């Protein structure tokens, strides 16, 4: 999980349900209530659960080198996902991508080619 991401406000039963769905993702399975979140970025999916009070959502990135990254989890009270929640996930996806590029650069010992000519 990326630092700063947690689901501390969701009721325990939904944390368990969504946690089990993330476990399924770790096993390479696709949970029943998962859908792509192309508005956040490629490879990002959303897990969903709800009760009478709110909808509970988790945005995650499928495995990179065997790791599932939770980008953002939150609850909402309207049918539409707020732009602020999408932006939080996009920013975390951007940071994760930068971290992955830096790791790759360290492995190869070469600067990352950013498409610029000398």
Q: DSSP string of 54-111?
A: -EEEEEEEEEETTEEEEEEEEEESSSSPPHHHHHHHHHHHHHHHHHHHHHHHHHHTSP
Q: Which domain holds residue 22?
A: 12-106
pLDDT for res 14: 62
Q: Give 65's contacts (C-beta < 8 A, 6+ positions apart).
A: none
pLDDT for res 62: 82
pLDDT for res 21: 93
Tell me if 114 is assigned to some domain: no
Look at residue 39 and give its three-state secondary structure: coil
Tell me if 118 is assigned to some domain: no
Please, are residues 36 and 45 in contact by the beta-carbon 8 Å criterion? yes
- Number of domains present in the structure of the chain: 1
Tell me if 112 is assigned to some domain: no
Average pLDDT for runs of 10 along the chain of length 118: 44 76 92 92 93 90 85 91 96 94 82 55
Tell me if 7 is assigned to some domain: no
pLDDT for res 112: 54
Tell me if 6 is assigned to some domain: no
Spatial separation of the C-alpha atoms in residues 75 and 1, rounded to whole Å: 18
């Amino acid at each position: 999980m990326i630092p700063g991401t947690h689901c501390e406000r969701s009721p325990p039963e939904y944390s368990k349900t969504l946690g089990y769905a993330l476990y399924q993702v770790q096993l390479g399975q696709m949970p029943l209530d998962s859908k792509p979140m192309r508005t956040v970025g490629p490879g990002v999916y959303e897990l969903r659960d709800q009760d009478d009070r709110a909808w509970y959502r988790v945005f995650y990135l499928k495995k990179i080198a065997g790791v599932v990254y939770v980008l953002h989890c939150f609850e909402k009270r309207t049918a539409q996902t707020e732009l602020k929640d999408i932006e939080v996930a996009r920013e975390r996806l951007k940071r994760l991508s930068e971290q992955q590029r830096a790791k790759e650069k360290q492995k190869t010992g070469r600067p990352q080619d950013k498409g610029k000519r000398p």
